[in-house]
Amino acid sequence: MFSSPRSRRLTSLTLTGLGLLLLAGCVRQPVVEPGPPPVSAVAFQARMDALETQLVARCDSRLDWQDRQARLGRYLLADIRELGDRLSAMRDDLARRDEASPPSGRQCEGVDSSQLEGKQVLGRAEWVGLPEVGTYLRARVDSGANTSSLSAQEITPFERDGQDWVRFRLGLTDEDVVVDDVREAWIEAPVERRVRILQAAGSESRPVVSLVMTLGPIRQPVEFTLNDRTHLNYPVLLGRRFMMDIAVIDVAERYLHPRPEFPGGRPADEAAADEALDLDDGES
């Protein structure tokens, strides 16, 4: 039995449709992630109660902190008021003592005036002269230092007649007052001895020279340790070894003795202008 052409076309179309349906079924469908499970009313209420508890706890903690700060502020204010009352009482007590104290100028108890006889009174800062060098310099008088020191740079050791000598220039800044002709001059002197200075970076050996120095009526050789003092306020430091038996310090005074005069230098009566520029901030 033979089929007609029409039936054969229907059969072909049917087979084609079935094939397409089979192919569509073989295509992988996208996986849909399951969503979160629905929240029950009980779980939702429990979560809200927990959040409310946390919020209340934070608010209470902040209120406690503010309360502590307020208490500390009150305590501090009370302490300040008490301190003010004490200071006021101390001022009143000092005022009463000043009114009851005898006039100044009396001899201090325990001080033998004979110990001051023949000694020069020096201020904490003085003018010194170096006749062998030909200049005056500002000096810091400090009984806390043992030896005296002179600011020097380009210190060069050499030997003369079998003896150790040094050649150096004065270590000066633009603000230092000095006879201009001496500012760049070379100075030569025999080495009396050497001292070892201990510093954070290690030890350092410094030469000691003896130079004649004048200060008011004082004129005598003084041993100076040579080192660069340009970072300090005074190019000269006078220690207690120099002052021993010849001078005492009045730390409330400065420049009690006139500036010495040297050829090429300024007159002594102009020293006041240079003294007014003295920083004198306590550094040596």
Q: Give the CATH number for residue 129.
A: 2.40.70.10
Full-model pTM: 0.60
Q: Tell me the per-residue pLDDT of 28-62, one tens digit each, with 9 for 90 and over.
A: 555 667 767 777 888 888 888 888 888 888 887 77
The number of folded domains in the chain is 1
Q: Which residues contact 159 (CB under 8 A, 6 or more apart)?
A: 165
The predicted structure's pLDDT at residue 82: 75
What local confidence, expressed as pLDDT, does residue 189 receive?
96
Per-residue pLDDT, 179: 96
Residue 87 has pLDDT above 50, yes or no: yes
88 located within any domain? no
Is residue 104 one of the residues assigned to a domain?
A: no
- State the DSSP string of 96-144: HHHHHSPPS-PPPTT--GGGGTTPEEEESEEEEEETTTTEEEEEEE-TT
Q: What is the predicted pLDDT for the residue at 282?
A: 55
Beta strands in the chain (DSSP E): 120-123, 125-130, 135-141, 148-160, 163-170, 187-199, 202-215, 218-227, 236-238, 247-250
Q: What is the mean pLDDT of residues 100-123?
A: 61
Identify whether 63 is part of a domain.
no
Residue 99 has pLDDT above 90, yes or no: no
Residue 23, domain member (yes or no): no
Q: Is residue 79 part of a domain?
A: no
Distance CA 147, CA 195 (A): 10
In this predicted structure, the answer to whether residue 244 has a pLDDT above a threshold of 60 is yes
Residue 209 structural domain: 117-276
User: Is 50 exceeded by the pLDDT of residue 65?
Assistant: yes
Nearest to 137 by CA among 170, 185, 166: 170
pLDDT band at 84; cut points 50, 70, 90: confident
| 222 inside domain | yes
pLDDT in tens, 152-164: 999 999 999 999 9
Residue 103 has pLDDT above 80, yes or no: no
- Average pLDDT for residues 242-262, to the nearest whole number? 92
Q: Is residue 228 classed exposed, middle or buried when 0-12, 13-18 and 19+ CB atoms within 10 A define those classes?
A: middle
Does the residue 140 lie in any domain? yes
Is pLDDT at 86 greater than 60 in this prediction?
Answer: yes
Please report whether residue 183 resides in a domain. Answer: yes
